[in-house]
Amino acid sequence: MIDPRPPLAALLLTLGVGLAPLAAPATALEPSPLAAEIDRRAAAAETRMIEWRRHLHQHPELSNREVETSRFVAERLRALGLAPRTGIARHGVVAVIEGALPGATVALRADLDALPVREEVDLPFASRATSDYEGKPVPVMHACGHDAHTAMLLAAAEVLTGLRDQLPGRVVLLFQPAEEGVPEEERPAGAEAMVAAGVLDQPKVDAIFGLHVFAKYPSGHLGYRSGPMLAAADRFEIVVEGRQAHGSQPWLGVDPIVAASVIVTSLQTIVSRSIDLTREPAVVTVGQFEAGVRNNIIPDRARLAGTIRTYDPAMQEEIHADLVWLAEQVAAAHGARATVRIDPQVPATVNDPALVERMLPTLARVSAGRVAQVQKITAAEDFSYFAARVPGLFVQLGVTPPAELESAAGNHSPRFYVDEAALPTGVRALAHLAADYLFAAAR
């Protein structure tokens, strides 16, 4: 997942400028009776957690290929006395921490996969791994911090497993593959496939929590948002068919490049002129334009591909309809024909407002008050599939020292760097969110 916020926005977050204040919930959630012990155990697990994170960072695997990562996670969980289920949605791992007391069920989620990126950070545990991506050999790197997510959830599992004799209810640990997306022929995958496999039903989950590290936020700071937080992502493809001709005699053909070029510029009017942006933001971007094989031949075909980002389902449908109509009409006006395909990839990630309000005291306590409501993010995250089924809360964890925010490379960069000093905050956030929710539900 990419953090699109500019450095200035990150600086404002550091200074606390321009952010919504932390609102006090109507009913304050008290810390669980295990709060002090959770903090003690989290501190004790820190060294192991850092070792796990470095091992995972040095041995990354691409989406739907997380064989060794899955094995590593399952071995750590068995060492804690848990009985993990493996092979969920290909390489997902699920384990349940059964509390000794009756109560509700919460889930904690982390993702396992890495990206086809060559690491440029000078670390003793830097990745030198390679794999195949779209039929080509590629370098592989944890350029989005999923190694940190997995290590933090393993550490939280250690903390909570050690306290299960005092814990009401149960905690479902979800280690998810393929968050970064897969080829069309491998779908459904990731969170969508895990939900289809019943991970929220066996046992039935009442609420789910997850977090994501972000380069452009200060280390140890937590960011949240009530309602839509990350965008829905759709992929579109437009094929424009014309009629081939010699480049010196364009009147004998129908130029698909000209028609496709006008389509590209016209698509920008969907957001700028057709959609009511006072409801929610939206993005339509063309990322690929392919046509022709020779400088003096007008081809018979051009292809465009791009992405749509939305937060509101009604606006999403409206943009889809506008895109199809506009592409077809512009092509027809040039004597060409356009065929449009839109593939929904990931729905919007929506944090349950009641759950956000309920858990804000936990986030404030864990971060020593360094928590703020943040702007919407136009990146997408398939945590949305979980949050669409049960109330969910997805939190951002800053992993860059404040003095380095302006120069820090963002997520998905070959220079993406995680300040490991921030990770204990993530471990504590996961463990306290689970414990506070379960004890509150048991009261």
**Tens digit of each residue's pLDDT (9 = 90 or more) over 89-146:** 999 999 999 999 999 999 999 999 999 999 999 999 999 999 999 899 999 999 999 9
C-alpha–C-alpha distance, residues 407 and 7, integer Å: 8
C-alpha–C-alpha distance, residues 229 and 411, integer Å: 17
Q: Is the pLDDT of residue 27 over 60?
A: no
Q: Is the pLDDT of residue 13 over 90?
A: no
- Chain segment 190-242, per-residue pLDDT in tens: 999 999 999 999 999 999 999 999 999 999 999 999 999 999 999 999 999 99
Verify whether residue 184 is a known catalytic residue: no
Q: Which of 39, 61, 111, 113 is catalytic?
A: 113
- Chain segment 297-325, per-residue pLDDT in tens: 999 999 999 999 999 999 999 999 999 99
C-alpha–C-alpha distance, residues 383 and 29, integer Å: 24
Q: For domain 7-228+348-442, is the CATH number 3.40.630.10? A: yes
Residue with more model confidence, 21 or 296: 296
Q: Is the pLDDT of residue 2 over 70?
A: no
pLDDT of residue 137: 97
Architecture of domain 232-346: 2-Layer Sandwich (3.30)
pLDDT of residue 134: 87
Query: Which of 346, 318, 348 is CA-nearest to residue 235?
Result: 346
Residue with more model confidence, 27 or 127: 127
- Chain segment 395-443, per-residue pLDDT in tens: 999 999 999 999 999 999 999 999 999 999 999 999 999 999 999 999 8
- Pairing of β 101-111 and β 207-218: parallel
pLDDT of residue 7: 41
Q: Which amino acid is at 18?
A: G
What pTM was estimated for this model as a whole?
0.92
Residue % of the chain over a pLDDT of 70:
94
Average pLDDT over residues 358-375: 97
Given a contact cutoff of 8 angstroms between Cβ atoms, the answer to whether 103 and 380 are in contact is no
Q: Is the pLDDT of residue 14 over 60?
A: no
Mean pLDDT, rounded, of the chain? 94
**Cα radius of gyration (the chain):** 24
Given a contact cutoff of 8 angstroms between Cβ atoms, the answer to whether 138 and 114 are in contact is no
Average pLDDT over residues 366-388: 97
Q: Could you tell me the residue ranges of all domains in the chain?
A: 7-228+348-442, 232-346
Verify whether residue 61 is a known catalytic residue: no
pLDDT bin (cut points 50, 70, 90) of residue 1 is low
pLDDT of residue 29: 83
In sequence order, the 6+-apart residues with CB closer than 8 A to the CB of 239 are 301, 302, 303, 304, 338, 339
Query: Which of 227, 202, 223, 204 is CA-nearest to residue 214?
Result: 223
Q: Which of 39, 179, 352, 419 is catalytic?
A: 179
pLDDT of residue 170: 98
pLDDT of residue 8: 37
Average pLDDT over residues 164-176: 98
Residue % of the chain over a pLDDT of 90:
92
pLDDT of residue 10: 41
Q: Is the pLDDT of residue 3 over 80?
A: no
Tokens 């945590």: give the residue. 383
